A and B are shown apart, each in its own frame.
Chain A
């Protein structure tokens, strides 16, 4: 909540003003004999190809350097409950240096209802494994959207209806992401193929004169996303139990305890700050994801929801232990069945 930031700032000012000689001193980290461990991160999404990431941790010990090296030679095998086997080698992709992990992928599609076991091995890091259950399909739809005033701010509300199948305990998440969309076109002018973005002035002048030749439009989507802050006032959600209706969330977490086998409607509220952009390079679409997730993934996300990486570590705050599903390692590979709802608020000026 913003008032917590205000009170934190106030206390900081007061502390500086009154406690004139506060100072810091460097302390030695303890010498612990922990070693780097295998880290597995990602989601196995029903209907999507196999895709997860692997890396290594860094022990917090005296003298250790905070540098996430890409673990050369990290290989993985994956088996399914139906008996399929994949051998995957971690490789560097365009994001590896940014996110400090290798990618493991295969074109085969993940099936709902299956349980996949991933075993990752490295000669120095050892062997780690995790078991990922893919939820069964479920139905959901967005019944209604509107712009509303939520505690003094204009937010975009979506009423999400989830139809729970009742056969098992189900766990749902709702999140919103902005995905950049690049729209560009090509046309032929004076015998030359011209990209509209490269020669916007020509394009504009031809369009204004009404002599624009046919344009072949190409739409591409960024593989990265920007998270949209999301709110809920639904007391059935874990978010309300963890914090309150005025807290921003990454994801809304909802188990079917109160509506097992029934249809349930919950409202989520999205911060519209990044819905629209001025620059074409920042324009995109809002993707509302309603997911059914595995129980271990749901529990992981509950801890992750409390975790604030940007605030760093302080011994004053109670630590947040995030329980993953990787044995002899760290991280989480979650099982997901998802529905995607796309909304576009940006307008491209072509």
Chain B
């Protein structure tokens, strides 16, 4: 890791030095230039200079008419000569600033002047959806004349400080028509903008000067339109499934919604819902995630180049923002699929002042099976609710709530068994614009995940209860936090973010509560409630050093403490971007991340046998050091990104072989082990749109290793999901208005698993001891190496058709039909060894499901 860090910083220093060298004043004006024509418009001369020298010239149309014809004297041999001829006797002056030349009024003071009147003025406001007044996150506003711009924050707010003048700006957002707005900058202005949705396009390229905010290998922003492109199993539209279509992201078991990012496991992903952490993100064994697509506005996903404001997990950030609610009209959406039904309602409480959004889902398929098999019940529900209240122009309040539950129930005669698990979260946010350059967000959050298992056995003999056991086991994690997030926009070259967070977390890893009053010998006590405090502070500056070169430098400090331990972690986060030209950029990043919580994961279904445990005196926080290097470009209309990464992980955690964690024990720390991990690889993504057809390709070549002292004799071994090749191809064809065809093909190399290499006769049998009815053919498996074998590769094709029809009264209904795994590939989920008595040998068998599953869903928007 140290070598990687040194190399990275050396590279960055070179980039910084070259950027600053480029920024020296005076050099641009002296650049040799001979005009290719003696007479022409001012604008044509400026374009010629830019074309031949690469120097950008900016001016305000208020002070210079670009169409005015000028004539050269014939003795101009430098840029300065030409410009002096152009401005002639006009009251203008030529200013060289960083990497460009400005033509400004002669009495305009220099930037940063301490004169009594500043010539730079802030402009701030919100960018929202024209119809619903929903704030747009990450919308871009760009001033080409200044090569400057900014993007809206998580609440749709932007702020930018510009020199006096009149400028044209492009305001853009994916899925919306780009707007052109003229700014007359001569004072502080509050400019709120409304963008119109563009239903004809699936994807637009955002016009932005901030490369760090554009989708690249490390950062992806998804809108609902992006998520809807990837309908898959049972017609579910799901955030996590959409993320699985990007390079560097893979599922665990095929068909489930869990994600593994660049060699990390699911417990290393920070899943946020409106800024509140979620501790469990699967419903129904991973068929769908807890994120209700009907309630989602946008998703920010980071797998590298982590901004300093994020912390607490080491592999990825999934930051999901829900809708605020339509400020204008009441409406909603009803969706019915094969497994569940969903209803979303939104609308104004006070028009243009206060709105609400409520969305709920529940399975209905358990009701279908109930008449035939009432002993078993499996279902889930969840509900999202949000209220958005605008106190005044500078103050906004948001209240969010989520509650979801999964349940498995089994009853038979006098026995009853039930297990249920789920999240409950709530948050209250207060946005405040303290001044045009300063935005403050205060958040209070509550998050709880709990798992309960109830087992009752009642024996009734001659009408008398002769034996009764009532077993209840629980596992839970609950945290309460207060966060302050500040954003300061001193000028258009800097965007400073800083803040802090205090969280108090209560863990109950395992606890069994037996309510059997007849028990003389009670079970031993559980793990008890563990309390931990977390304090974080961060600061970050996003700097546009020059026209081509920008950087984001940040520091995140976290401290976890209780009566028994005190851990601190100082985490630098750096990101550099260099614009090779208007279509291409080179970028690099380094991040140090740490996490105090650990998920002991069963790596299989979305089952609640995963446990969150804290760091303790014995269990240290996990850490990761990740470096990335990437290149973005657009060639012949193809958006391409290629990136390489290396990630070092320390103190990764796993079960010690064969043990289960959920039990009545306060020794859970002895059942886990910490070790090392490292992952590296290359990612490629391509995207192209031609008319009604769009296609994308994501390819990942990756290696993923683990090492634990007590496993595999201490030797490194491949991580279970060390899939060498990962390919996803997605295509969409808009056949005609209201009809769309999608096809997704994916390929994943087989996962690694441990197979015994020998069997030998059973030990107890050879002591002539039998275990009940155990067969004398019992044998013992012998393992030499961990994860030395591979399951067969997984691949499948999913297709779908959407039929959209707009009806009267603003109704829009959509029928979606499709097939998951069209060619019925038997993708093996896991393997077993069975004793083939006929052949007299052990047979390796793979179990697969999810072959050729048709689906149909109905959606009604109103």
Do chains A and B stick together as partners? yes
Q: Which residues of A contact B (CB under 8 A)?
A: 1-4, 6-7, 9-11, 13-15, 17-19, 21-30, 32, 34, 37, 39, 41-43, 53, 55-60, 63-68, 95, 98-101, 148-153, 157, 177, 223-227, 233, 235, 240-247, 250, 269, 300, 303-304, 306-307, 309-310, 312-322, 330-332
Contact between A26 and B843, CB atoms less than 8 A apart? yes
Q: Contact string, B770-785, partner A, CB cutoff 8 A, digits 1/0? A: 1110101011111100
Known pairs A23-B849, A101-B766, A243-B659; A58 contacts B758 (CB<8 A): yes
CB-based contact A22/B849 at 8 Å: yes
Residues of chain A lying within 8 A (CB to CB) of residue B605: 11
| Contact assessment for B455 and A2 in the assembled complex, using a CB-CB cutoff below 8 Å | yes
Quote the shortest CB–CB distance from B234 to chain A (angstroms): 10
Contact in complex: B826, A25 (CB < 8 Å) = yes
Task: Report the minimal beta-carbon distance from B419 to chain A, rounded to whole angstroms.
Answer: 6
B779 in contact with A149 (CB, 8 Å): no
Decide if B376 touches A322 in the complex (CB within 8 Å): no
Residue B191 at the chain A interface, CB threshold 8 Å: no
In the complex the two chains form, is B378's CB within 8 Å of A14's CB? yes
Q: Are B761 and A55 in contact (CB under 8 A)?
A: yes
Residues of B within 8 A of A68 (CB): 760-761, 779
Q: Is B394 positioned at the interface, with any CB of A under 8 Å from its CB?
A: no
CA A37 to CA B765, docked complex, whole Å: 19
A316–B329 alpha-carbon span in the complex (Å): 50
Q: Pick the interface stretch among B19-27, B151-159, B512-520, B623-631.
A: B512-520
Q: Is there contact, CB below 8 Å, between A314 and B658?
A: no
Q: Complex formed: what's the CA distance from A229 to B204 in Å? A: 67
- Contact of A226 (CB < 8 Å), options: B365, B758, B760, B772: B772
Contact with A along B420-464 (1 / 0, CB 8 A): 000000000000000000000000000000000101010000000
A307 and B780 contact, Cβ closer than 8 Å, known pairs A6-B410, A41-B761, A57-B759: yes
Closest to B792 in A: A27
Q: Which of A11, A63, A240, A303 contacts B667 (CB 8 A)?
A: A240
A–B complex contacts, Cβ < 8 Å, 19 sampled? A3-B455, A19-B849, A19-B850, A21-B852, A24-B845, A24-B846, A59-B757, A65-B841, A101-B761, A148-B521, A150-B521, A152-B468, A225-B769, A227-B772, A241-B665, A241-B671, A244-B523, A250-B764, A316-B604
- B458-479 interface code vs A (CB 8 A; 1 in, 0 out): 0000000001110101000000
Query: A116 CA to B29 CA in the complex, in Å?
Result: 93
Q: Which B residue's beta carbon lies closest to that of A24?
A: B845
Smallest beta-carbon distance A33→chain B, Å: 10
A21 touches B849 (CB 8 A): yes
Supposing A10-B408, A148-B521, A152-B518 touch, asked if A17 and B842 sit within 8 A by C-beta, the answer is no
How far does the Cβ of A217 sit from chain B's closest Cβ, in whole Å?
Answer: 25
Report if B828 contacts A (CB, 8 A): yes
Contact with A along B836-858 (1 / 0, CB 8 A): 10011111111111111100000
B654 CB, min distance to chain A CBs, angstroms: 8
Q: Which of B95-103, B141-149, B748-756 contacts A (4 or more CB under 8 A)?
A: B748-756
A95 to B769, CA, bound (A): 12
Is B369 an interface residue, CB under 8 A from the partner?
A: yes
Question: Is B831 in contact with A149, judged by CB distance below 8 angstroms?
Answer: no
A149-B518, A319-B783 given; A27·B844 CB < 8 A? yes
Query: Which residues of B lie under 8 Å from residue A318 when comparing CB positions?
Result: 655, 657-659
The total number of A-B Cβ pairs within 8 Å is 282
- B845 near A26 with CB under 8 A, answer yes
Cα distance A300–B760 when bound, in Å? 15
Q: Which residues in A have their C-beta under 8 angstroms from that of B789? A: 30
Which 5 A-B pairs have CB atoms at the shortest separation, nearest pair first?
A: A244-B663, A152-B469, A320-B658, A306-B658, A22-B849
Give every chain B residue within 8 A of A151 (Cβ-Cβ): 469, 471, 514, 516, 519, 521-523
Which A residue's beta carbon lies closest to that of B788?
A30
Partner of B831, one of A19, A59, A314: A314
Q: A6-B410, A32-B757, A60-B758 are in contact. Are A66 and B772 (CB under 8 A)?
A: no
Chain A, Cβ-Cβ closest to B756: A60
- Please, which residues of chain A bring their CB within 8 A of the CB of B715? none
Complex CA distance for A303 and B659, rounded to whole angstroms: 10
CB distance from B407 to the nearest CB of A (A): 11
Asked if A227 meets B663 with Cβ closer than 8 Å, knowing A29-B844, A32-B757, A316-B604, the reply is no
Pairwise interchain contact A152-B845, C-beta atoms closer than 8 A? no
Would you call B791 an interface residue if the criterion is a C-beta within 8 Å of the partner chain's C-beta atoms? yes
* A233-B521, A315-B791 known; A41-B766 Cβ under 8 A: yes
Residues on A with C-beta less than 8 A from B38 are: none
Task: Please report the C-alpha to C-alpha distance between residue A4 and residue B782 in the assembled complex, in whole angstroms.
Answer: 25
| A89 to B840 Cα, complex, angstroms | 29
> Which B residues have a C-beta under 8 Å from some C-beta of A?
365, 369, 373, 375-376, 378, 408, 410, 415, 417, 419, 453, 455, 457, 467-469, 471, 473, 512, 514, 516, 518-524, 602, 604-605, 607, 655, 657-660, 663-667, 670-671, 711, 753-772, 774, 776, 778-783, 786, 789, 791-792, 826, 828, 830-836, 839-853
A318, chain B: closest CB distance, angstroms: 5
Residues of A within 8 Å of B520, CB to CB, are: 148-150
A57-B828 contact in complex given A227-B772, A319-B783, C-beta closer than 8 Å:
no
User: Min CB distance, B595 to chain A, in Å?
Assistant: 22
Shortest Cβ gap from A168 to chain B (Å): 23
Q: B775: shortest Cβ distance to chain A, in Å?
A: 8
Known interface pairs A26-B844, A313-B833; 5 further A-B residue pairs with C-beta atoms within 8 A, sorted by A's residue number? A17-B369, A58-B758, A60-B757, A151-B516, A316-B602
CB <8 Å contact, B757 and A321: no
**Considering the chains assembled together, what is the distance between the CA atoms of A331 and B755 in angstroms?**
18
The answer on a CB contact under 8 Å between A66 and B658 is no
Q: Quick check: B417 and A10 within 8 Å, CB to CB?
A: yes
* Distance of A3 Cα from B663 Cα, bound (Å): 11
Nearest CB to that of B845 among chain A residues? A24
Beta-carbon nearest neighbor of A63 in chain B:
B841
Cα distance A314–B832 when bound, in Å? 4
Contact indicator A245/B771 (Cβ below 8 Å): no
Chain B residues, Cβ within 8 Å of A65:
839-841
Q: A23-B826, A310-B778 are in contact. Are A244 and B664 (CB under 8 A)?
A: yes
Nearest-CB residue, chain A, relative to B459 = A152
Q: Which residue of B lies closest to A267 (CB)?
A: B521
Q: Bound state CA distance, A106 and B613, in angstroms?
A: 54
Contact B849 A309 (CB under 8 A): no
CB–CB A331/B521 < 8 A: no
Q: A226-B770, A247-B663 are in contact. Are A309 and B848 (CB under 8 A)?
A: no
Contacts of B453 in A (CB 8 A): 3, 7
Please give the distance in Å from B464's CB to the nearest CB on chain A. 15
Q: What are the residues of chain B within 8 A of A309 when measuring CB–CB?
A: 762, 774, 778-780
With a CB–CB cut-off of 8 A, which chain B residues contact A34? 757-758
| CB closest residue in chain A, given B762 | A309
Interface centre among B419, B657, B843, by most A CB within 10 Å? B657
Q: Report the nearest A residue to B419, measured CB to CB.
A: A7
Chain B residues whose CB sits within 8 angstroms of the CB of A10 once the complex forms: 376, 408, 410, 417
* A224–B826 CA distance with the chains assembled, in angstroms: 46
A10-B410, A64-B841 given; A25·B828 CB < 8 A: yes
Q: Is the CB of B524 within 8 A of A319?
A: no
Beta-carbon nearest neighbor of B521 in chain A: A150
The answer to whether B782 and A330 touch across the interface, beta carbons within 8 angstroms, is: yes
Known: A39-B761, A314-B832. A17 touches B778 (CB 8 A): no
Q: Is the CB of A224 within 8 A of B665?
A: no
What is the minimal beta-carbon distance from B333 to any residue of chain A, in angstroms?
Answer: 26
The distance from the CB of A9 to the nearest CB of chain B, in whole angstroms, is 7
- A60–B778 contact, CB under 8 A? no
Task: Please indicate the chain A residues that have their CB under 8 angstroms from the CB of B851 in the complex.
Answer: 21, 23
Is there contact, CB below 8 Å, between B756 and A23? Answer: no
**A14-B408, A316-B604 in contact; A42/B835 too (CB < 8 A)?**
no
Q: CA of A30 to CA of B807 in the docked complex: distance in angstroms?
A: 60
| Residues of A contacting B365 in the complex (Cβ-Cβ under 8 angstroms) | 18
How close is A304's CB to chain B, nearest CB, in angstroms?
6
Q: Is the beta-carbon distance between A43 and B783 smaller than 8 angstroms? A: no
A146 nearest in chain B by CB position = B520
Question: A240 touching B524 by the CB < 8 A rule?
Answer: yes
